Structure 1
Amino acid sequence: MSNNSQLCHVNENTAYITLTVLYTTVLVGGTIGIIIMIFLLNRTNTRSLTTTAVINLLVVHGIFLLTVPFRITYYVKRKWVFGYEFCKIISASIHIHTYLSFIFYVAMLIIRYISYFKQKDKIEFYRKLHSVVASAAVWIIIILVMFPSFYLRYGDSNDRNSTEVCFRFQAAFNKSSVRILNYIVVVVMVSAICLLLAVQIFIIVKVVKKLKKSALDHQEFWAQLKSLFFILVMVICFFPYHMFRIYYIKNRENCYYYYYNEICLGITALSCLDLLSFAVQTYFQKVLKHMRCNFRCIC
């Protein structure tokens, strides 16, 4: 026990500093990304299913970013002063954000794949009102099913009245049902992401073969790169946490691994930077296209 305590003490400062920097980056970058995307979405067709999915993803990121300052406060002060129930809500929020982001990523990619294989430029609702109704229906289901389930079932702590610690609910893994559920979630997410990646690579190869040297001049190629970008976001942000999750469940009593788990969980929050990166990618695409056009004119 003394060795474990010393090990935890040595890594605690580094872990909290890392988590503070990580979530501060998420808060600042995510907020900037949302602001930029709001301006970009004003110029797009809101009847598009893809645009509707992006708008809902923006809402998911926005709601989660409201909880990030509480995490940063805790990691800076090393003390939780907002009560046990609110700790559960803030702790559950990052998991809800991860799974909702995953759902909207998958929905957006499936819409793009259907559009590609059916050779349609866009799949749209008939009216803007339909997109609003569809989004409202999805959020009603989320609010009535997902949020209450997390609030009622998430969290198991032996220290309910403590004002010192938060986010330590690993005792829930003592239940076999919780362990099995986590294993199922890991398998589903990893399998889905790998499948989407395989399909996307197949499509990109077909597009490159079709367009050959002029691929960079076609919108179709860049559209597929954008789809690949969202898959890479899932690989980079979601893989580390879910792969380490399997190991952590078996070693949950070791507080040394607790900090690794928190850092990997924090990496999932970096998905909030996807909208900022997407905006930068769109700008880079326009600049590259302009540069190629000028080069041809000079030649």
Structure 2
Amino acid sequence: MEVCNMTIQSNGTMENADCSRKILVPLYSLVLLGGTAGTVMMSLVLFQRKSQSIITVIIANIIVLHSILLVSLPFRLSYYFLAEWKFGWFTCRIVSSMVHFHMYFTFLFYVAIVVIRLLIYFKKLQLQELKMCHAVALSVTIWLLGMLIFSLIFLFQYGTHMESSQHHCFQFYKELGHTSMVIVNYCMIGLIMATVLGLSLVQLVVITRLAKTLWPGLLSHQEFRAQINSFFFLVVIVVCFLPHHAFRVYFIQNHFQSEKPELILYGEICKALTTVCCLDMLCFIGGVVH
């Protein structure tokens, strides 16, 4: 039984309004509500604690990223509800790119947390040596480097290979037919996959060592809880980000040969899944991760 109906117009545009309302609207609504609640509550917690640790500063950066994405979600929900874009082509490019902007920047800050804690574990870095200036310098470096790359891609690649539409949005999958975008996507996918695989293997080795050393009172040791905390961020990456990148490889290799409309919907679902990482702050507040 089909979940929803999909039809193809003569101009090649997929009209999946029914599918979007049934799948994407509930998913984005959940992220908007849960993400807003999580970011607000975590912001209050950080403000009350007034901690200046490097991890706290990185968490604050992640909250800012979540907030930027959450502001863009009402535009998406409006489009999926009305099946028509009413905010202009440039706004469409901005709102569409926010998902990628949020995903890659969040990935960088997640990786920064994992790497810092691994360096501390292997005695390559002393926690006492990390000051507020180091946290700010790291944050500024990530933002500047990320903004430079993002600006170059957005200004010269994203949405520049297709005709603008006054009524439709979020159909940038057509750009994947261009060689330059295929190369950019493959490079990003390969880099992210390799990074996650490498960090996950190292993190599992560290957790296994600590479990053997500190058993049976594992949770009473701050070092073990810190590594479990880091592993949580890797799990979020695997659950929220990797499906999108894995499917993107399949999409590039198959869509322009088979022209299956359902692949476009599956791609939008995987993209929406990347925004679920906004619920990470609810996990902290709810005590899933301490």
Q: 2:187 aligns with which of 184, 188, 203?
A: 184
Tell me what 1:293 maps to: none
Alignment partner, residue 101 of structure 2: 96
Give 1:197's aligned residue.
Answer: 200
Q: Larger C-alpha radius of gyration, 1 or 2? A: 1
Given the alignment, which residue of 215, 218, 224 partners 2:227? 224
Contact 1:79 1:164 (C-alpha < 8 Å) held by counterparts: yes
> For the residues of structure 1 that align with 2:77 and 2:30, how far apart are their CA atoms?
11
Partner Cα separation in structure 1 for residue 283 and residue 25 of structure 2: 21
2:43 corresponds in structure 1 to 38
The residue type paired with residue 156 of structure 2 is L
- How much has 1:174 moved relative to structure 2? 2.1
Secondary structure of the corresponding residue to residue 51 of structure 2: coil
For 2:128 and 2:32, how far apart are their aligned partners in 1?
A: 33
C-alpha displacement at 1:239, in angstroms? Answer: 1.3
Instruction: Give the Å deviation of 1:141.
Output: 4.1
Residues 4, 256 of structure 1: 8 Å contact kept: no
Structure 2 residue runs without a partner (length 5+)? 1-5
Are residue 147 (structure 1) and residue 151 (structure 2) matched? yes
Does the Cα contact within 8 Å between 1:88 and 1:155 map onto a contact in 2?
A: yes
Q: 1:239 to 1:203 in 2, by over 3 A?
A: same
The offset of 1:120, in angstroms, is: 6.7
1:135 alignment counterpart: 139
SS of the residue corresponding to residue 164 of structure 1 reads coil
| CA 1:187–1:18: 2 relative to 1, 3 Å | same
Task: Measure, in 2, the Cα distance between the counterparts of 1:184 and 1:130.
Answer: 29
Q: CA deviation at 1:277?
A: 1.2
Which residue in the other structure is 1:255 paired with?
261
Q: Is this contact kept in 1: 2:20–2:80, CA < 8 A?
A: no
Please give the alpha-carbon distance, in whole angstroms, between the structure 1 residues aligned to 2:261 and 2:128.
Answer: 49
State the shift of 1:89 in Å.
0.7
Residues 183-230 of structure 1, C-alpha deviations (whole Å, 9 max, x = no match): 121111111111111111111111110111111222222222111111
Asked if the contact 1:237–1:269 (Cα under 8 Å) also holds between the matched residues in 2, the reply is yes
Check whether the contact 1:49–1:111 (CA below 8 A) recurs between aligned residues: no
The SS at the match of 2:217 is helix
The alignment partner of 1:66 has SS state of: helix
Residue number in structure 2 paired with 1:109 = 114
Q: Aligned pair 1:59/2:64, yes or no?
A: yes
What CA deviation, in whole Å up to 9, does each residue of 1:113-165 have, x standing for no partner?
11111187735543x455445534543444455235324321146441x3321
Shift of 1:56: 1.1
1:165 is matched with which residue: 168, 171, 181?
168
Distance 1:142 1:158, change over 3 A: closer
- CA-based RMSD: 2.5
Mean alpha-carbon deviation: is it higher for 12-21 or for 31-40?
12-21
* TM-score, normalised by the number of residues in structure 1: 0.84
Q: What residue is the counterpart of 2:287 in the other structure?
A: 281
Q: Relative to 1, partners in 2 of residues 1:115 and 1:32: Cα closer, same or farther, differing over 3 Å?
A: same
Distance 1:124 1:39 in 2: 27
